[in-house]
Amino acid sequence: MERTLIIVKPDGIQRGLTGEVISRFERRGFRIVGMKFMQIDRALAEQHYFEHKGKGFFEGLVSYITSGPVVVMVLEGNNAIDISRNTIGKTNPKDAAPGTIRGDLALEIGRNIVHGSANEADAEREINLYFTPAELIDWSRDTDRWIFE
């Protein structure tokens, strides 16, 4: 099973969309193995967005993700990264397909509701930034046999 990090960003929290976002992933079949409601501080935000350091939009990313509380979660499932990114939709909501989180719920690239890890390396790095191994729960659902082959 693959794992990915998902963040419901401050705009999602402020707009009361946390349950909607979580529900979409659960309905898709993902298993939540870790979840936190937290305030990201500047140091953690800079680590999270380190690959953008030096770019013109870096400060805006850091300022925004630290502007309010977020929900951070680890999802597990077959092809979790690719499938969760398809569920989220393209980064710019104007390009996101209807039926995706961003396509249905967002209008602006800087207020696009949710973050999802881009690839396996990012997922591993990001999960380790937000969770210790003890905070991730290995478990199974009775319905897993109807979701996973």
* C-beta separation of 7 from 70 below 8 A: yes
Task: State which H helix or E strand residue 6 sits in.
Answer: strand 2-8
Is-catalytic flag, 52? no
Beta strands in 26-91 (DSSP E): 31-38, 70-77
SS3 call for 105:
helix
Q: Which of 9, 24, 48, 115 is catalytic?
A: 115
Residues catalogued as catalytic:
115
